[in-house]
Amino acid sequence: MMNGAFSLKSKSSGAWLDAIMNNFDAFLLDHAANERKASSMAMSMVAHYPDKDRLLEAMIDLALEELNHFRQVVKLVRKRGLLLAPDEKDPYVNQLRASIRRGKQHYFLDRLLSAAVIEARGAERFALIADNIDDEELKIFYAALAKSEASHHLLFIELAHHYFDADEVKTRLSDWLTIETKIIEELPVRARLH
Ligand SMILES: [Fe+2]
Ligand SMILES: [Fe+2]
């Protein structure tokens, strides 16, 4: 089942989609940064949990896959004659992080589940772009990315189930979906992934 994105509690707004379509170049630069950060995030899991076999293998694969997304987006950036932008803070990710609990186990579960909701939102937004963009190459690219990010969403949920019991995952995932929706709905609309 690849429909992990449907577990989000809200859909992205038409205003967000308009902002992207009206300034696709700005969006693309931010998208590149997001792929780079996704790869780094996976490698930070590797550094933080070197003793967790299953996680380790999955995060190395994920880091490579996200790095490949980064490479592909950078190619699109260069094709449009753009330059990558300096790093910017991502208020969405920072606000999500603020809800990660302390304590070894809680922290671990929250890292997995916050990553799961970030991936689900990415999948939802890339699918929206794929459905609404005219350029055929970009349509195909974003549809493929949407699928990929949906599978990452499921990967984080699976890892959560591997390391925690189902009830705990279910309860906390429901919290995260509520947290995520509140954050995404309150963010100013910009030509950014978030
Ligand atoms: Fe990605
Ligand atoms: Fe991803």
Q: Grade residue 7 by pLDDT with cuts at 50, 70 and 90.
A: confident
What is the CA(51)–ligand 2 centre distance, in A?
Answer: 23
What is the CA(160)–ligand 1 centre distance, in A?
Answer: 20
What is the CA(35)–ligand 2 centre distance, in A?
Answer: 7
- Looking at every residue in the chain, the average pLDDT score rounds to 95
Q: Under a CB-based contact definition with an 8 Å cutoff, are residues 21 and 192 in contact?
A: no
What is the CA(38)–ligand 1 centre distance, in A?
Answer: 7
Q: Cα–Cα–Cα angle for 73, 11, 136, nearest 5°?
A: 35
Read off the tokens for 73: 């987006």
pLDDT tens-digit map of 58-71: 999 999 999 999 99
Between helix 136-163 and helix 166-186 the angle, nearest 10°, is: 140
The Cα–Cα gap between 169 and 73 comes to: 33
* Cα dihedral 96, 26, 120, 11 in deg (nearest 10): 90
What is the CA(152)–ligand 1 centre distance, in A?
Answer: 8
Task: Supply the pLDDT for residue 3.
Answer: 44
Give CA separation, 183 vs 35, 91, 98, 187, in Å: 20, 9, 11, 6
- The beta-carbon contacts of 31-34 under 8 Å, at least 24 apart in sequence, are 31/73, 31/193, 32/70, 32/73, 32/74, 32/77, 32/84, 33/84, 33/85, 33/87, 33/88, 33/90, 34/90, 34/122, 34/193, 34/194
What is the CA(66)–ligand 1 centre distance, in A?
Answer: 4
Q: Could you give the domains of the chain?
A: 14-186 (1.20.1260.10)
pLDDT above 50 (res 161): yes
User: Residue 42: nearest ligand to its CA?
Assistant: 2
Task: Supply the pLDDT for residue 1.
Answer: 40
Task: Supply the pLDDT for residue 46.
Answer: 98
The secondary structure element, H or E, covering residue 25 is helix 24-48
What is the CA(74)–ligand 1 centre distance, in A?
Answer: 12
pLDDT tens-digit map of 20-56: 999 999 999 999 999 999 999 999 999 999 999 999 9
Read off the tokens for 87: 């790093």
